[in-house]
Chains A and B, each alone.
Chain A
Amino acid sequence: MDFESKSYLYELKVLDYFMKTKKEAIALVLLCTFLTAAGQIFLKIGSGNLSFSILKLLGNLPLITGFALYFLGAVILVIALKHGELSVLYPIIATSFVWVSFLSIIFLNEVMNSWRWAGVITIIIGISLIGRGAS
């Protein structure tokens, strides 16, 4: 066995060590949703002055930050997906709506109301059901 494949196996073992159970995969998806939610807030701010000039797009810091957070969230999602069913882990991404609701209040001066609270609670119930339905 050459050195490269040995180090490759070692890396896989390290990854497996950190994510032996599905619980850790779910925790990683939850982290991904928070990053995605923060990303969406930045994208919303950045979309306010959207233009089709490349230079202006590159200078649109909120937009760039939003995409960077999205990318980071995607990387974490991929690592999580290795350790669980897609049909279980993907719906958990809905947690981002819960984060977005709270972040919108803080950063976009939006107001929380009964509908939004109902939505947040309902989503959490739905995610719990999927967790219970996981094989």
Chain B
Amino acid sequence: MATQLWAIAMVLFATIIGSFGALCFKMGSETISIDIKKLIKNHKLILGFLFYGISSIFFVISLSGGELSALYPVSAVSYVWVCLLSMKFLNEKMNKLKWLGIIIIIIGITFIGLGG
């Protein structure tokens, strides 16, 4: 089965939504507890799960239009989005080692795609 363009576009969309989900998770994680009542009131956490869920639904739909191995490299851009969001909204510092690590991870994921 050849991977179709709409499937690639859908994975890209899923990575953007998923990255915002990760950001919400991090923001919501600061106040987590085992108390269910407090968890339900943790809006950032709920929003994180919502984004994460929507992202994975789009990913599943895209899987029916392409191979896992071809769609994986596309999904790897989410690491770039998350680092950019971490810098902008969490004041985290990126350095050469971290960026190099991300580039190498993306290359690795592309290798896995080529091997699929």
Contact = CB atoms under 8 A, between A and B. Distances in A.
Interface of A: 7-8, 11-12, 14-15, 40, 43-44, 46-47, 50, 63, 66-67, 70-71, 74, 77-79, 81-82, 85-88, 90-91, 94, 97, 100-101, 104, 110, 112-135
Contacts of A14: 34
B82 A87 contact: yes
B108 A115 contact: no
B64 A82 contact: no
Chain B: interface size category:
35 or more
B97 A43 contact: no
Given A81-B29, A86-B86, A94-B79, 16 more contacts: A11-B33, A15-B34, A43-B59, A43-B63, A74-B48, A78-B28, A86-B22, A87-B82, A97-B72, A116-B115, A118-B111, A119-B108, A119-B110, A120-B112, A125-B108, A128-B101
B111 A115 contact: yes
A92 to B, nearest CB: 9
A81 to B, nearest CB: 4
